[in-house]
Structure 1
C-alpha cells in the first residue's frame, strides 16, 4: 500500500464532542452504524466445559487479547464447536472487544487477523464491519484501542465484585470520528507496520533467549569450546551432572562469602534517586547511602521469586529477604557465578506457602569451578548474548512508545495520512 502525508495547512478543523477534528471527519456512534447495518455486534457465549488439549475449537477469552490490540494465543481453552450456521463464529476482520474484566483491563480490544475456526466467550463481543465501503475494521479496532489507552472505555463500565463490565447498550454509545475511507486505511496501515516491527523484534528476543539457554547448557557441560570440539572434551560424572574432567565441584561457601542482606532495612528507606537497592524482587529502588562496593550476586531468599539471582556492581545496598554472594577475588568470576546460580532449581528451598532459602543451606550449594580464565570466557560469551537481548528490548520499547504516540496523533488528526489512488 502506498500512502502519503496530508499537509497540515490542508486541514481545516471544526469543534466536536471529541475535540477539534478535520471538517471532513464526522462524529457518529457505534449504535448509529449498527442501526444502519454497517456494523453487527454480538456477545459470545459462556462455556464451563472446556479443555486445553486441543479437542474442539478455540474459545477466545479476555487473556487472549493483549494490551497492544493483538490476539495472543499462548494459552487456549477449547470447547465443542457450535453449528456451522451459529452466530458465534469469529471471522477474519472482526473486532474483538473485551466487555468484562478487571476495572483496568475492561475494554481491551483486538483486530482479529487469524485464519481458522474460533468462537469467543460471553466476556467478549464481536464487532463486525458489514459495509467495508464505509468503515475499515482495522481502523475501528485501533480507535477503540485509543479510547482504552485514554481511559474512556473504562468510564462506561459498571463495577461489580472484583470485575467491571460494559453492556452492549453502552458499547453502542461510543462515539467515533469517521475519517474518509482512504484515510482510515492509511491510519490502520501505518499502525500495523509499527506493530509488525514490534512483533519481529519479539521474535528476535525469543530466539536470543533460546540461544542463551542452549549456550548455557553447552558451556556448563563442556566449557568454552566450539560445538565441533565437544567430542575431544574429557568429561567426569559429578553430583551436578557431567563436567569437564579438569573442573572441580565445590561448595558455594568455600569460594564466596555468603551472608544475609541488611535484615533491618525495608523498602521504606527507598529514595527517588541514589545508590541501587536490591530486594527479593531485584533492583527495585534507590538509597541515599551504600553498604557494599564491588561485584556480587544477590539472591532472592523468600517468596515467589525465591532463588532468582541479580548481578550487583559498583556501590549498592541489599535489604531484607536477600542473600549476598561475594566471590573470592582472584579465584572466581562474579558474572560466572551469576549465570550459573540464576536458576531456582539450584537452590534448596524450605517452606510451602512462603518458600525460603536458609543461609546454611545456601553455603552448601554445589557449584562447578573451572579455572579462572574459563570462568571469564564463559561470562564474556553470555554477556555478549545479554547485550544483544538488551539492545533488542530497547528497540522494542522504542517501537511501543512510537506506536502509542502515532496512535494518539493519527486518531486526533495531529498527523494525517491517506492512501494513494
Structure 2
C-alpha cells in the first residue's frame, strides 16, 4: 500500500460514528408517506441513494443526509448514501463521517471493505455483522485532500454507470413499445380487425404455432454413462443457453451413442428454442439457433417452414408473450412450473402474409437489440473500470493526481498521465 494511505478503524471517533439500526413496532411504519423514510436493508438501496418504500412516524434510530448506510444482514456490505433524514431498521447501519474523513471517501472505503465484512459475518441462515465487528473494521485512510479527490473520481465513475443503466432501461422501453406497435399494426398502414389475440392488420392471419413447423423437445443423457459424454463432439444445449438469443456455440457436447440411444433430436439452424421449465426467469425465454445442436428436456424447439415464418419474427412475438407463458406454466397450464409441447403447438401467433414484412419487422427489432447490446457493453466496461479504480485508489497503487480528470467528461475511461 502507498505510504499516503494508512489504515484506521471505524471505532475511532475521528473516522466515523457507527449507528446500528433498530426496527420500530410494525404499527409505526406505513406506505402513506407518514413520517420519515424507513430503510430496512439492501432492497431499499439504489445506485448510490436509497428509494423509500416505507415511512416511519415513530423511529428509534436515525440517519442524516450524508451518512453512509450499509446493509448488515444478508446481504452484508452493500452501501448507499442517505439523501436526507431517515429511520433505519435492524438490517441497516449508518456511518457518520468523523472530523478526519470525507463522507464520499468513507462511502467508497466501506464499499472496498465489503469482502472483508462478508468474511467476518456470522449466522448459518442469515449472515450478519455486529457493532464490534464494525468498530474493529480497518479502512484505508488518506490525507483529507486526497480523500476528496478519490471520492470525486469514484462518484463520477458510478454516475457514468448510472447513465448507461438509464440508457439500457430507455432502450428496452422503446423496444417494448415498438413490439406492441409492430405486432398489432404491422408496417403497411392497414386497417385493423379484432381477432382472438387482439387487434391485427386486416391482411394478417392468426395461426397455431404448431402449424408453422415441427415442435418437440429433447432429453438429457445419463451423466453416469461416460459413453454418452466423453469425447462428445455434437453440441447439446440446456435451458441456460436461451439467454444468448442467437445461439452460436455450445458448452456441452454428446457422443454419437447418445444421439442414437437417447433419442436426441438433431435440431437445425433457424429453429426457435424456448425454455419450458423452471421457477426462475429462464422459463419462457427464447433464442434462435444458429448451429446444429441437440437439446435437453427443459427446452422446446420449433423447426419452422422457412417459406412461412422467419425465426426472428417468431422469437420476437414470443417475447411479447413472456408474462403470459409464465402465468400458464405456473397455474394455467397442464403442468405446474412447465410448458408442454402440446400447449405450444396450440399457441396462437399472428402472421403477416409475406416474409418481406416479417423480415422488415425483424430488422427493426434487431436494430433496437443492437442499441441495447451497445449500452450493455458500455455498462460492463464501466463496471470493470470502476472496480479497477476502487482497488487501485484504495490501495494507493494509483493516485488521483495521476488521472486525467477531463477524460471523465468525454469518455468512460480516465487515462493515466504519462
Note whether the superposition's TM-score is higher than 0.5: yes
- Report the RMSD for the aligned CA atoms in angstroms: 3.0
TM-score (norm 2): 0.81
Tell me if 1:135 matches 2:105. no
Q: What is aligned with 1:14?
A: none
Q: What is aligned with 1:253?
A: 210
Q: Report deviation, 1:51.
A: 3.7
1:9-408 paired onto structure 2 within 5 Å: 20-22=1-3, 24-32=4-12, 34=13, 36=14, 38-47=15-24, 49=26, 50-64=29-43, 70-73=48-51, 76-82=53-59, 88-101=61-74, 105-112=75-82, 114=83, 116-131=84-99, 134-148=100-114, 151-158=115-122, 160-225=123-188, 230=189, 233-262=190-219, 264=221, 277-283=236-242, 286-289=251-254, 291-304=266-279, 305-342=282-319, 343-347=321-325, 349=328, 352=331, 354-370=336-352, 371-408=354-391
Count of aligned residue pairs for this structure pair: 375
Deviation digits for residues 195-219 of structure 1 (CA, Å, limit 9, x no counterpart): 1111000000000011011100100
Deviation digits for residues 359-403 of structure 1 (CA, Å, limit 9, x no counterpart): 222111111110211111111100100010011001000000000
Q: Report deviation, 1:408.
A: 0.4
Q: Report deviation, 1:184.
A: 0.5
Q: Report deviation, 1:314.
A: 2.1
Distance in 1 (alpha carbons) for counterparts of 2:200 and 2:316: 16
SS at 1:315 equivalent = coil
Q: Report deviation, 1:322.
A: 1.4
Q: Report deviation, 1:60.
A: 1.1
Distance in 1 (alpha carbons) for counterparts of 2:159 and 2:233: 38
Residues 275/179 of structure 1: CA separation in 2 closer, same or farther (3 Å cut) = farther
Between Structure 1 and Structure 2, the one with more helix by share is: 2
Distance in 2 (alpha carbons) for counterparts of 1:400 and 1:172: 29
Contact 2:65 2:85 in 1 (8 A): no
Distance in 1 (alpha carbons) for counterparts of 2:341 and 2:124: 42
Deviates more, 1:50-59 or 1:391-400: 50-59
Deviation digits for residues 324-361 of structure 1 (CA, Å, limit 9, x no counterpart): 01211122100000010122345483564942222222
Unaligned runs of 5+ in 2: 244-249, 256-265, 406-418
SS at 1:383 equivalent = helix
Distance in 2 (alpha carbons) for counterparts of 1:162 and 1:330: 56
